[in-house]
Amino acid sequence: MKKWTRWDTVVLILGMIPLVFAWTVYDQLPERIPSHFNLSGEPDDYSDKATFIPLMAGMGLGLPFLIKWLPALDPRKENYRKFTSSYELFRVALTGFLGGIFIATLLYALGYPVDLSQVVPVGIGLLWMVLGNFLGRIRSNYFFGIKLPWTLENEEVWRKTHRFSGPVWMGAGMVIVVSAFLPPWVRGGLIFVAILLTILLPVGYAYRVYRKIHQES
């Protein structure tokens, strides 16, 4: 991949927004900021703001740029050229997700009525839907996608599994978004089942396709 692209500019700008916001309201923030919330949206762990803010800012900017350089380590790096836009869109979506959680947490710490137990599922659900939308375009590689022994070994298994998994991930994402507006005890179960299905269904399908191909050959 190129050293610097317009996608990097988008990621940088998007990642800087929560950092600028944090800097603007830093003096208004309490010394201890909620760093974890339970399913009811109540904080159950806190961190010093002098630690929390640099950590979240570093994650929001560092992780997307780390992902940018992963293809250089992949033996199948040439395949990334076939789905560059999808890969870059994921980086942007991830930056937006992390930044959104960061800003929502700061707003809560400032006393605004922000329900993190709703914000987080909505963010996760939207991220799942973005991934599901382009899973079918991802080509075989070792870092991004549904990496199983069967998909990595056989190009046809990889292609069919990712085309099958796209709608599964999109559907799961929709369920996770809807769960954000349901009672906490329902929400937790739905999120768990939705995420579990995005793992189990692709694995089962990939194995089935792999066996079928080998039986026919």
Question: For residue range 93-102, what is the model confidence (pLDDT) as tens digits?
Answer: 999 999 999 9
Q: Which of 114, 138, 161 is the last residue in one of the domains?
A: 114
Count the domains in the chain: 2
Same domain, 144 and 209: yes
Cα(149)–Cα(163) distance, integer angstroms: 17
Same domain, 65 and 137: no
Same domain, 196 and 122: yes
Question: For residue range 144-185, what is the model confidence (pLDDT) as tens digits?
Answer: 999 999 999 999 999 999 999 999 999 999 999 999 999 988
Same domain, 214 and 124: yes
Q: Which of 68, 91, 114 is the last residue in one of the domains?
A: 114
User: Six-digit token pair at 204?
Assistant: 């089962």
Do residues 91 and 67 touch, judged by C-beta distance below 8 A?
Answer: yes
| Residue 107 Rama label (left phi>0; alpha psi -120 to 50; beta) | alpha
Look up the domain containing 188 and give its range: 116-217
Q: What is the mean pLDDT of the chain?
A: 94
Question: For residue range 102-125, what is the model confidence (pLDDT) as tens digits?
Answer: 999 999 999 999 999 999 999 999
Same domain, 139 and 46: no
Same domain, 88 and 102: yes
Q: Which of 114, 133, 151 is the last residue in one of the domains?
A: 114
Q: Provide the whole-model pTM.
A: 0.91
Cα(127)–Cα(120) distance, integer angstroms: 11
Same domain, 72 and 158: no
Same domain, 58 and 149: no
Residues 6+ apart with CB under 8 A from 49: 26, 29, 30, 31, 32, 33, 109
Same domain, 176 and 109: no
Same domain, 54 and 152: no
Same domain, 2 and 102: yes
Same domain, 149 and 50: no
